[in-house]
Amino acid sequence: MQALYDLIPVLLFFATFKWLGIYTATSVLIVATVAQVAWQYFRHRKVSGMLLTTAALVLVFGGLTLYIHDDRFIVWKPSVLYVLLAAAFVASNVIGEQPMLQRTLGHVLRTDRRTWQWATAHWSAFFLLLAGVNAVFVLYFSRDAWATWKIATVGVVMVFAVLQMLWLSRHAEAVEVETTTDSKP
């Protein structure tokens, strides 16, 4: 559900893009992202680092797009985000006690550090590939084709995540998650 929740601003951007153009869509993306940050803070009294990073990029690149009236800023934002994510994954393999995926999934899967590092490296390479493909669409295709690719990226990421989980599940064991039920009425 969290993944779907995180996609709301992106989906609003592309729906608006198709009907009203990239500048109105950029405004919608900025408003939706700020609302998402506010909602997450309201509900949890904290905001995830990923959402804060995305929001900062949306505000900077979206703001420049609107201020300078040049759509190149907003279409390059995904590549910048993917490169930052790849760098964060690489850094987590070298810095700290646990790679990023282990911190994220370690409560449901148990495996050795090397497997977590490989899985994290897979994600890093995947994000670099996405950054490159986005760059190709920005440089060589129409904005409409770029938008179609960007929406397709959602499916591509989901397929990769499923394949990655299948790979990880072959190299890891499930951790039993304790559930407590309160029998009091």
Confidence of residue 96 (pLDDT cuts 50, 70, 90): confident
In angstroms, rounded to a whole number, what is the distance separating the alpha carbons of residues 88 and 48?
14
Q: How many domains does the chain have?
A: 2
pLDDT surpassing 70 at residue 185 = no
How many Cβ atoms sit within 10 Å of the Cβ of residue 155? 9
Q: Are 85 and 126 in contact (CB under 8 A)?
A: no
Cα separations (Å) of 45 from 37, 48, 60, 179?
10, 10, 24, 25
Q: Do 63 and 91 sit in the same domain of this protein?
A: no
Confidence of residue 176 (pLDDT cuts 50, 70, 90): low
> For the segment 133-159, what is each residue's pLDDT rounded down to a tens digit?
999 999 999 999 999 999 899 899 999
> For the segment 50-79, what is each residue's pLDDT rounded down to a tens digit?
889 889 999 999 999 999 999 999 999 999
Q: Do 147 and 60 sit in the same domain of this protein?
A: no
Which of 44, 70, 96 is the C-terminal boundary of a domain? 70
For all residues of the chain together, what is the average pLDDT? 89
Q: List, in sequence order, the alpha helices (H) in the chain.
A: 2-20, 22-44, 49-57, 63-68, 72-94, 100-105, 113-140, 143-171
Report pLDDT for 170.
86
Percent of the chain with pLDDT over 70: 91
pLDDT surpassing 90 at residue 131 = yes
In angstroms, rounded to a whole number, what is the distance separating the alpha carbons of residues 11 and 90?
29
Which pair of tokens denotes residue 170? Answer: 């072959």
In angstroms, rounded to a whole number, what is the distance separating the alpha carbons of residues 111 and 114?
8
Which of 28, 50, 70 is the C-terminal boundary of a domain? 70
Which pair of tokens denotes residue 114? Answer: 């090397």
Kindly state whether residue 38 falls inside one of the protein's structural domains: yes
Q: Are 16 and 24 in contact (CB under 8 A)?
A: yes
Q: Do 51 and 102 sit in the same domain of this protein?
A: no
- What is the pTM (predicted TM-score) of this model? 0.82
Kindly state whether residue 2 falls inside one of the protein's structural domains: yes
Q: Do 100 and 64 sit in the same domain of this protein?
A: no
Among 136, 185, 124, which residue's Cα sits nearest to residue 160? 124
Q: Do 84 and 57 sit in the same domain of this protein?
A: no
Phi–psi pair at 10, nearest 5 degrees:
-65, -45
Q: Do 39 and 102 sit in the same domain of this protein?
A: no
In angstroms, rounded to a whole number, what is the distance separating the alpha carbons of residues 93 and 72?
32
> For the segment 17-57, what is each residue's pLDDT rounded down to a tens digit?
999 999 999 999 999 999 999 999 999 999 988 889 889 99
Q: Do 53 and 131 sit in the same domain of this protein?
A: no
Q: Do 98 and 152 sit in the same domain of this protein?
A: yes
Element (H, E) at 62: none
Q: Do 60 and 86 sit in the same domain of this protein?
A: no
Q: Do 66 and 103 sit in the same domain of this protein?
A: no
Kindly state whether residue 179 falls inside one of the protein's structural domains: no
Which of 33, 52, 70 is the C-terminal boundary of a domain? 70
* Residues of the domain holding 66: 1-70
Report pLDDT for 75.
96
Higher pLDDT, 131 or 114: 131
Q: Do 78 and 129 sit in the same domain of this protein?
A: yes
